[in-house]
């Protein structure tokens, strides 16, 4: 089995500007036909004393403004850390069998500047192979290589 043909990848947040305002996903993923969705937050620069947390958002419709944040799915830290506590680490929020069809993510950047990127991976597709979205925030290119030669 290979990963590329069995899951769907989407870029949800690409925040490369340090800031303290909360972030909501730039894209909503349709979970219909999937067992779950895993959000992976990739932390970059985090100012000392900062906190950073991430949680899922859901809705019955695909609109970004319809998302309701589910703080019960929060991962991250409410304790202030120094820059080396968070930089280069991951936040992972795996939602197995979401109750609503559409999902996205919410990031709380606390009171200190932080940069984060979030990728969504929908898994457990009921239809294989999975076609990757090439829309905005989708996949530019991807290929499976079986036993590549040097």
23-52 average pLDDT score: 91
Look at the block and give the residue holding tokens 């937050």: 41
Rounded CA gap, 34 and 19, in Å? 34
Mean per-residue pLDDT, 31-43? 95
What is the spatial distance between Cα 60 and Cα 103, in angstroms, rounded to a whole number? 9
Residues 6+ apart with CB under 8 A from 32: 101
CATH architecture observed for domain 8-123: Sandwich (2.60)
Mean pLDDT of 15-38: 91
Asked if pLDDT for residue 138 goes beyond 70, the answer is yes
Q: pLDDT digit string (tens) for 59-117?
A: 999 998 899 999 899 998 766 666 667 788 899 999 999 999 999 999 998 888 888 89
């Amino acid at each position: 089995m290979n990963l590329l043909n069995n899951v769907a990848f989407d870029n949800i947040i690409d925040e490369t500007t340090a800031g303290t305002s909360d972030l909501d996903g730039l894209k909503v993923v349709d979970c219909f036909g999937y067992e779950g969705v895993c959000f992976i937050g990739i932390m970059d620069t985090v100012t000392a004393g900062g906190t950073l947390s991430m949680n899922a958002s859901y809705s019955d419709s695909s609109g970004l403004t319809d998302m309701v944040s589910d703080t019960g799915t929060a991962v991250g830290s409410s304790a202030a850390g120094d820059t080396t506590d968070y930089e280069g680490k991951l936040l992972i929020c795996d939602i197995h069998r979401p109750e609503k069809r559409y999902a996205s993510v919410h990031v709380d950047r606390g009171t200190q500047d932080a940069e984060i990127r979030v990728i969504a991976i929908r898994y457990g597709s009921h239809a294989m192979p999975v076609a990757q979205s090439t829309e905005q925030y989708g996949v530019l290119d991807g290929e499976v290589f079986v036993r590549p030669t040097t």
